[in-house]
Amino acid sequence: MENTQRDIIQKSGKRVVLTGDEVAVSEEFEAGAGTYEHEGKIYAMAPGILNLDYSSKMARVEMFNPPVRLEVGDIVYATVDDIRNSMSTATVFVLHGTKRKVSGETESSIHISNVSSEYTDDFRRVFRLGDIIRAQVIQSEPSLQLTMAGPNLGVVKALCSNCRGPLVRKDSGLYCERCETTESRKIAADYGDLKLDSPAKDMKVEISRERRERRDDRRTSSSRDRGGRERGRSREYQRRRGGGRGRPPKRERR
């Protein structure tokens, strides 16, 4: 963050903290979003603006560049790690249109029925190990699942299976200039000239009503659970503190 931005924030009365800064003690506050507790003290997990909520006794840090939590419909880039008969796995490393890290589970699965809008019975016609793909999230919980069924979804970078040299686009396939061989892939429409700044909505495929409803239900449930946990921690904190205004209960002398 530039000094001018930091100065504006500090002049507004808000405290800017950095990773590892001590922000509170566990006797006074609970560790909330963007913080963690260690040996009775609460620290910032990342640079951000400190928020000490005295009503709920929660310490939070509003991070400047929070990690991305994937949701149904998101467009992502991933590396193919494993290929089996009907299921493959790929590690997601970035969300389209951002440079922020992806939080939570990054290992995804792709069923062979979701690799193309056309019938496919062999993954090797679609991608190979090490290929970088552009895909869409069709399930985020309890496991991350992707689809490549769309003209703008598919392999965006591939290497030759023989010499590991870069493959260039030639007609409807990919060509290795070293080996002078052609390989088959399900390539994205902009392979070789990636449109990384294109709006994600231009790349998305239609998500089924059932998946959208499950996504909305998870959002509602997550919001309720998070609020309930924080209120529960607050009540438990007050009980331990003896109900006083920040004063610990008196200890009996032995």
Per-residue pLDDT tens over the stretch 94-146: 888 876 667 666 899 999 999 888 888 888 889 999 999 999 999 988 889 99
Tens of pLDDT, residues 34-81:
899 998 999 998 888 999 999 889 999 988 766 778 889 999 999 999
Q: Note whether residue 56 is domain-resident.
A: yes
Q: Are residues 184 and 88 in the same domain?
A: yes
Number of domains in the chain: 2
d(CA 24, CA 46): 15
Q: Alpha-carbon distance 188 to 48, whole Å?
A: 37
137-175 pLDDT tens trace: 999 888 899 999 888 899 999 999 888 889 999 887 899
pLDDT of residue 129: 92
Task: Give a yes or no: residue 156 inside a domain.
Answer: yes
For residue 13, give the amino acid letter.
G
Domain CATH for 188: 2.40.50.140
Half-sphere exposure of 188 (CA within 13 A, CB side): 28
Domain carrying residue 190? 75-197
